[in-house]
Amino acid sequence: MPTLCKPSVNVPEYIITMEETLDFAEEAHRGKPQLPLALRLIRNTGVQKRHIVQPIEKTLRHPGLEERNRVFEAEAKKRCPAVIEEALANAGLAARDIDAIIFVSCTGFMMPSMTAWLINSMGFRTDTRQIPIAQLGCAAGGAAINRAHDFTTAYPTANVLIVSCELCSLCYQPSDDNIGSLLSDGLFGDAVAAAVVRGQGGEGIRLERNAAYLIPHTEDWISYAVRSTGFHFQLDRRVPGTMEPLAPVLTDLAADHGWDIGALDFYIIHAGGPRILADLSKYLGVDLHTFRHSTATLTEYGNIASAVVLDAARRLFDENALATGATGIVAGFGPGITAEMALGSWHTTTPTRH
């Protein structure tokens, strides 16, 4: 049965705190009527710090789309290999054992995909399948796990490498001052993450079932306006309320598998913001503490887009508190409004820590 092995995650060395974010916002947008509301929303995110790939002085300047994309490519090539090597080691595999690479990012563009560079640079086989995912935003972490599950179901001996490279700070737009943009300026952080789904063997989350759902007619609620200056993030004020219609979808998915959504042992949820987790706690009937791994990611790194579910999963592995057979769910949410969901059970030969 396909198994999601322990992810590897790395965040850049430059740090910006919530207090610094609030100071920068006040300085850049002083006197604008929407600023007080934006500052209040940023404070309510619970994000204490974020990591970014450039010093804040460079981040706040806009050198143009061409230069920003050059930085994205250079930073991706600089930061991905070490994270990938660690993920392979976590899975007990080498590059030559990988049959497909899923590369996920919504914060930069490369063609050919980063997958081609990885194959040429890191010893992957030349017949490795390439599966780039660019336009699912924060839902892409869950989607990557699900596509890896699908691939290893079709090819039971295959191994799939997932790589998420989200450099959200490179999408900062100094001139955007609507509420959604100002909130995103205080919410998103940078990270690189990787994980392997093994078709056979390995320890971790045994993937048993996956599903996707799109809330009808919400495709403009989370979006990019693509302009000469790059990607301009657009966020509808209705987005925080989307867990009410999505919670029954999660409930039905678990019920179809014979599980009770309110009685699982672990929940790896994309933490787009604290209300997402609060509403899921309410509508699923579970204690907010069950989302502690997602909350920790949000608090320490901010919203790192598709990498959130991989980092939250890493924290679950590090906690080392589950017994073999423990049940859980992984769910990512993003543009569409799209949900990508997976059910799995914990499998390990390592004794749990009590």
Active site residues: 138
C-alpha distances out from residue 216 to 125, 146, 268, 324, 336, Å: 41, 21, 24, 38, 8
What's the half-sphere exposure (Cβ side, CA atoms, 13 Å) at 284? Answer: 31
Per-residue buried b or exposed e for 76-111, using 16+ beta carbons within 10 Å of the residue's own CB:
beebbbebbebbbebbebebebbbbbbbbbbbbebe
Q: Are 311 and 112 in contact (CB under 8 A)?
A: no
> Using the 8-state DSSP alphabet, how is residue 306 labeled?
G
Look at residues 262, 269, 326 and name the one whose alpha carbon lies nearest to residue 295.
Answer: 269
The span from the CA of 291 to the CA of 278, in Å, is 9
Q: Which of 122, 79, 118 is nearest to 102 (CA)?
A: 118
User: Which one, of 32, 221, 241, lies nearest residue 138 by Cα?
Assistant: 221
Residue 222 sits at φ, ψ, to 5 deg, of -130, 120
Question: How many Å apart are CA 316 and CA 188, to the nearest integer?
Answer: 22
> Measured between alpha carbons, how far is 173 from 166 in angstroms, rounded to an integer?
16
In the structure encoding, which two tokens stand for residue 51, read together? 């990591």
Phi-psi sector, 223: left (phi>0), alpha (psi -120 to 50), beta: beta
